Amino acid sequence: MHRIELPALWPGVDAGLMFIGDRIGGEDSRLSRAMKRVHQSRCARSLAVELLAQQGIDAKQICKGPMGEPLWPTGCVGSLSHTDQHAAAVVARNTACRALGIDVEEDAPLPPDTDALILRDEERGQLDAVREVVPGADRLLFCAKECVHKAIHPLRGAWLEFQDVAVRLDIDAGRFTVHPATPPARHAFDGLRSEGRFLQHEGQLLAVLVLF
């Protein structure tokens, strides 16, 4: 298990990515899928506690809310993500931003049958130009939309669908922008400004969304 250094994203916002694959035993592990999820979840939480400590905030644990959302110490916001191989967390004081979302996914195309559920027509045009650099360009859009859910749901109580927002990628800058595309999304994003960043790391995509 080791921490992967990430570049600074926004002032006052600390994100971390941790390789955890070797701790779970890889393909040969006899741990059940549920046990692995518990382990991954703990890794993401301990990373978040470390990041909060970096900001001078003493959090013993990060509990889970009724809708699955992490419960942050008073005055803090954050988000968690985990896969078989990686755990990720992002935290900030609520003076730095209003909400955060983070998601890690494999840098590989989405299964063809999920495409219609995830992508809006206006998002498809950008994908061909991007695939050479990001093999999972369509999955990066999915990743960005998962960040939207993790940031907007705890803040506004809105449960948006994938079709409710359109994501625009700026591959050279490692940034993405989120555009509310339906009335529920425009309502949820009312008065908020969002900025997204993404990174590629050894076959993984990491996306982080901040709401100001």
Q: Which residue has the tokens 């400004």?
A: 193
Shortest spacing between CB 94 and ligand COA, in angstroms? 15
The residue (of 69 and 115) whose beta carbon lies closer to ligand COA is 69
- Cβ distance to ligand COA smaller for residue 132 or 202: 202
Binding footprint of ligand COA on the chain (CB under 6 A): 41, 44, 64, 67-70, 79-82, 103, 145-146, 148-150, 153-154, 160, 162, 164-165
Strand partners for 152? none
Nearest to 68 by CA among 54, 82, 57: 82
Residue among 68 and 172 whose Cβ is closer to ligand COA: 68
Nearer to ligand COA, 98 or 149 (CB): 149
CA dist., res. 25 & res. 18, Å (int) = 15
- When the beta carbons of 107 and 164 are compared against ligand COA, the nearer one is 164
CB of 129 to ligand COA, least distance (A): 23
Q: Nearest distance from residue 88's CB to ligand COA, in Å?
A: 8
State the minimum distance, in angstroms, from the CB of residue 110 to ligand COA: 12
Least separation in angstroms between CB 65 and ligand COA: 7
CA gap 188, 25 in Å, rounded? 41
CB of 132 to ligand COA, least distance (A): 25
Tell me the backbone φ, ψ of residue 131, rounded to 5 degrees: -60, -30
Name the phi and psi angles at 195, rounded to 5. -135, 135
Nearest CB to ligand COA, comparing residues 148 and 172: 148
